[in-house]
Structure 1
Amino acid sequence: MSQNAFADPQSHPRLDAAKAHLRAMVGFDTVSKNSNLALIAYMADYLKELGAELTILPNQTGEKQNLVARFGPSDKAGIVLSGHTDVVPANEDSWKTPAFEVNEINGLLFGRGTCDMKGFAACVLATAPVLASKNLQQPVYLCFSYDEEVGCLGVPAIAEYLASLDTPPKLAIIGEPSNMQLITGQKGKIAMRAHVKGSSGHSSFSPKHLNAIELAGHVIDLIEKRGVKYEKEGPFDPEFTIPHSTMLVTMIKGGVATNVTPDTCSFTFELRSILEENARPDMDALLASADAEVAKRVSSKSVAGGIEWQEIFSYPAMGDARQSEGFQALAHIMPELGGKVSYGSEGGVFETIGGIPSVIVGPGSIEQAHKPNEFVAISQIEQCLSFLDLVAAEVSK
């Protein structure tokens, strides 16, 4: 089905409801460092009134919650509609309108999270009355997580819960911004921090010291070479815009003065892998070669030194679900193919932990996410509502 199949010259009958939900949700400041309890309460109260069966999955501190709401029977495999409730920070000095308000300008809805990804959540909430009114033959699970933006920290609990059901869902639709195109793959990510320890002293005696920044530089060289090897040798998948895995350094810090040999240096780096089965072996190989390089250089000095590794977070790649039973049942209503993406989503977690094949279909463009003056086009909201109408019709057959 083409993307234009979702377009309607008339406003969608639930557009105003979607806008109202979006205004309410953007008004909750759910930057990842904050609690999402007020937003979850808003969604839970609304869905409970419609008759949904609710499951709340809190984090260890109780300051954040996942929400799972089911419409339809529990004894059949169904569909997941999934979104995250957290957003990235907003430096309001860079915004032309208040970041945590929705402002409609020339057919666009501005506000933090309108695109990534409260716009999709608003469409789902606006579609909930339709799900409640139909005689669903398959369940629909509305899943809303916390802390996606800082490493997909909340969704594993949702995936584990769904996998524990007597009849788990057969497909998850992740509403990340895709311009309402079908995304069938997503790279996984491992984010790492390295702490390099050397020895310090006046820089005029530097040959007697172990320079932590220089030591880090040798490790960074290995990371760069690994990235170049991916680019030249693959493995490759042409459906990705960047058709290979990537590895790069992202931040670095070290040194205290221009005349002091630095004894510490820390840096962060990441691996984005197109194949989940390659991610850990590739990272382990890099760490082993870096450990060997550091040990060789430390042994040449009569001082202590070394390197320590810290995994910041990781999430798995999302495989291609098009051959799965769940996707095949809905293939005829899916939008036009948009390829595969290098950015992260929770799809890989549903697949890897929950055993649920996943795809991405959502309103808005990823190019508008994570920046000032974020927006989603009203036309995208309407297309999303129309797509969800088709999903509701299919699970009612």
Structure 2
Amino acid sequence: MNTLEWLGTLTAIDTTSRLSNLGLIETVRDDLQRQGLQPWLSTNAEGTKANLFCTLPDQAGGTQGGIALSGHTDTVPVDGQPWTSDPFRLTEREGRLYARGACDMKGFIATAVAMVPEFLAMPRAKPMHLALSYDEEVACIGAPVMLSGLRERGIRVDGCVVGEPTSMKPVVAHKGLNAWRCRVHGKAAHSSLTPRGCNAVEHAARLICAIRDLAEAWRAEGPFDEAYDVPYSTITTNMIQGGIAMNTIADACEFTYEFRNLPVLSPAEVQARISAYIQGELLPRMRSEFPGASVELENLATAPGLDASEQAAVTQLVRALTADSSVRKVAYGTEAGLFQGAGIPTVVCGPGSIEQAHKPDEFVEADQLAQCERFLRQLAHSLA
């Protein structure tokens, strides 16, 4: 199948993160096996989701080194979004290809998989690898499992291109992502007897305001990096739930917050500041009202930022192939930081615009896929 046929096949498989991705992974696996390759899978504990890693050996049969092409197979939901066409049926209108995941990031995967026969026919002196992951959209859960498998199998990769939508322009840095759940426990009472209770909602609000103060300090004081589209670290509280009735002092409140840190800012330091406020200010106030009051913190997601070396061979190669020397850094996260943390120099570059990701009527332009084909063809030739 060509790129468009593969994109139609991949987008027809609903791989929303809450569902299994095995249908997609097995479709790709079977096609690679028919070409004489030996892909291997690494799964989650339940066996309902899988990563796929496949090496395309060099002309001498070598499997070590070379470049990996990486993409995540899961997508965000379409629930409640006003799509004008079926999100799981690829639709072309005026040079745009519409479907959930067309941009983020099945367009890159479709291009890479479609070009495997061409890659295999090239006289390459170094191997290429396909690395497809699960659950990137829910905290980059799958990639660490795959990277652990690489270590166990002794597979060495010289560099990686993560094909997130960047309009085929190299991205050399992005922020880290850290998500936390906070549970505040107070004491219930009738709202007419407030001294007998400890209002978890109100005390949670104090912590939320302290988190907002931290966000405002970063915005005003930095650290800054003007190469980013948002040039400072950010932190927000986006979900909250608490209380059972209007006339009952709330004994519990739960909220989530996330922060996206510049690579120069340590996530541990950020969390230490929040914990210090809880221990030093919030809990003493709560326990003056109710000695049994408590606050629980649970880490929901941690994905490291990316800060690619300009001296790395893969960075220089991608810059040369795209004829782009701009220093481009972004606020959104990818799996690139995980590959870099595993000792694999990594750059982000793929078809489509991040502005289309997660939206109704998500699309990738056909011209972007054609650019991606040219880029991957040149990349493979560079390994000759």
Deviation at 1:112, TM superposition (A): 0.4
TM score, norm. by length of structure 1: 0.92
Q: Partner residue of 1:395? A: 383
Indicate if the aligned counterparts of 1:50 and 1:132 stay in contact, CA closer than 8 A: no
Q: Partner residue of 1:101? A: 89
Indicate if the aligned counterparts of 1:86 and 1:149 stay in contact, CA closer than 8 A: yes
Stretch deviating more after TM superposition (354-363 or 67-76): 67-76
Q: Partner residue of 1:60? A: 45
Q: Partner residue of 1:11? A: none
Q: Partner residue of 1:351? A: 340
Q: Which of 9, 17, 35 is matched with 1:32 structurally?
A: 17
Deviation at 1:250, TM superposition (A): 1.1
1:110-157 CA distances to partner (integer Å, 9 max, x unpaired)? 010000000010110121111111121111111100111101000012
Indicate if the aligned counterparts of 2:81 and 2:360 stay in contact, CA closer than 8 A: no
Indicate if the aligned counterparts of 2:170 and 2:319 stay in contact, CA closer than 8 A: no
Letter in 2 for 1:52: L
Corresponding residue pairs, total: 380
In structure 2, how many angstroms separate the alpha carbons of the residues matched to 1:179 and 1:378?
12
Residues 62, 101 of structure 1: CA spacing in aligned structure 2 closer, same or farther, 3 A cutoff? same
Question: Equivalent residues in 2 for 1:195-274 (5 A)?
Answer: 195-274=183-262
Which ranges in structure 2 are unaligned for 5 or more consecutive residues?
none
Deviation at 1:49, TM superposition (A): 2.0
In structure 2, how many angstroms separate the alpha carbons of the residues matched to 1:300 and 1:59?
45
Q: Partner residue of 1:364? A: 352
Residues 326, 306 of structure 1: CA spacing in aligned structure 2 closer, same or farther, 3 A cutoff? same
Q: Partner residue of 2:117? A: 129
Deviation at 1:371, TM superposition (A): 1.4
Q: Please tell me the root mean square deviation across aligned C-alpha atoms, in Å.
A: 1.7
Q: Partner residue of 1:10? A: none
In structure 1, how many angstroms separate the alpha carbons of the residues matched to 2:157 and 2:105?
22
Deviation at 1:279, TM superposition (A): 1.3
Stretch deviating more after TM superposition (272-281 or 184-193): 272-281
Deviation at 1:319, TM superposition (A): 1.2
In structure 1, how many angstroms separate the alpha carbons of the residues matched to 2:132 and 2:264?
24
1:373 matches 2:361: yes
Deviation at 1:167, TM superposition (A): 5.8
TM score, norm. by length of structure 2: 0.95
Question: Equivalent residues in 2 for 1:1-397 (5 A)?
Answer: 17-73=2-58, 74=62, 76-91=64-79, 94-164=82-152, 166=154, 168-275=156-263, 278-336=266-324, 337=326, 339-352=328-341, 354-396=342-384
Indicate if the aligned counterparts of 1:187 and 1:343 stay in contact, CA closer than 8 A: yes
Stretch deviating more after TM superposition (298-307 or 138-147): 298-307
Letter in 1 for 2:337: G
Deviation at 1:92, TM superposition (A): 6.4
Residues 243, 385 of structure 1: CA spacing in aligned structure 2 closer, same or farther, 3 A cutoff? same
Residues 92, 52 of structure 1: CA spacing in aligned structure 2 closer, same or farther, 3 A cutoff? farther
Residues 111, 167 of structure 1: CA spacing in aligned structure 2 closer, same or farther, 3 A cutoff? closer
1:12-35 CA distances to partner (integer Å, 9 max, x unpaired)? xxxx81000000001111111111
In structure 1, how many angstroms separate the alpha carbons of the residues matched to 2:80 and 2:117?
35
Question: What SS does the aligned partner of 2:275 have?
Answer: helix
Identity, % of aligned positions: 35
Residues 383, 114 of structure 1: CA spacing in aligned structure 2 closer, same or farther, 3 A cutoff? same
Which ranges in structure 1 are unaligned for 5 or more consecutive residues?
1-15
